[in-house]
Amino acid sequence: MSDEHTMWDEGSTPLAAEYVLGVLSAQERRDFERRLTREPALASEVEYWEQKLGVLTSEVKPVEPPPQSWARIEAALTAHGSTARPGGVWQNLSFWRWAAIGSTAVAAASLAALAYLERAPAPRQTLIAKLDVSGGQAGFVAAIDPGRSGLIIVPASVANVNQRVLELWLIASGDHPRSLGVIEPGRPARINLPAELIQLIAADATLAVSLEPPGGSPTGLPTGPVIASGKLTKL
């Protein structure tokens, strides 16, 4: 206990109040949170201030979140399944930003996907998915050919992935996420689907894109945030 608050404390633990008030820097917040896990008295102090100051939020006007917001949460739950870990990467999404090009890019991406499909024979139905990112913009448009051998994915936005890579996942109903490989940001990709995955591919399966360390997820399951997702539907 050598921080500048010690002398000022006098039993009232203002650091807990400062933490709840929100005036501490990122580093001070991390340091304080480490103490919180070891010092129950500090945790009670935080609860006290959360209760007392928390009522101020009653003055903040409620705002309905966008309608697709719940779908994104549900997709993230599905993508992470039981692998979600406390303190994981969800807390740090700040390293990625999207810049939407706009609806013309979405239209172009859709046309590119369709142009690809027209070349394929059609024993089964084509499946398509629009993978939405934050704000309901299309992040990617994906299509799986009727023979289920190939998938094309076309980005509709520019992603600044900042030293990370994009990994595409297939999540069949009731199944854990299966990697379909790493894709380059900003460029259309064609992915050959492994034979063992073909039987999992059906309408209602979800495609999701997560951010992963270079080389892709080290665990075989998504480890980074899901930045876009969407369900496959029959064309």
Partner 1 sequence: MDQNAARKLLVEALARVSQGDRDALRLVYRRTSAKLFGVCLRILGDRSEAEDVLQETYLTIWRRAAEFDRSRASPVTWLVAIARNRSIDRLRAGATVPRMRPIDDATDVGDSTPDPLEQVETAQWHRQLADCLGELERRHAAAIRAAFLDGATYEMLAERMEVPLGTMKSWIRRSLVKLRACLER
By CB under 8 A, name the binding residues for partner 1.
8, 12, 14, 17-18, 20-26, 29, 47, 50-66, 69-70, 72-74, 76-77, 80, 84-86, 90-94, 97-98, 134-135
**Distance in angstroms (rounded) separating the CA atoms of residues 220 and 234:** 28
Nearer to partner 1, 47 or 204 (CB): 47
Q: How far is the CB of 51 from partner 1 (least distance, A)?
A: 5
Nearer to partner 1, 128 or 209 (CB): 209
Q: How far is the CB of 2 from partner 1 (least distance, A)?
A: 18
Nearest to 179 by CA among 191, 188, 163, 189: 191
Nearer to partner 1, 148 or 222 (CB): 222
Q: How far is the CB of 82 from partner 1 (least distance, A)?
A: 9
Nearer to partner 1, 93 or 182 (CB): 93
**Distance in angstroms (rounded) separating the CA atoms of residues 229 and 74:** 10
157 and 105 Cβ atoms separated by less than 8 Å: yes
55 — phi, psi (to 5°)?
-65, -20
Strands (DSSP E) along 101-220, which ranges? 127-132, 138-144, 150-155, 157-160, 165-171, 178-183, 189-192, 206-212
Q: How far is the CB of 145 from partner 1 (least distance, A)?
A: 32
Q: How far is the CB of 43 from partner 1 (least distance, A)?
A: 10
CA 76 to chain centre: 6
Nearer to partner 1, 13 or 179 (CB): 13
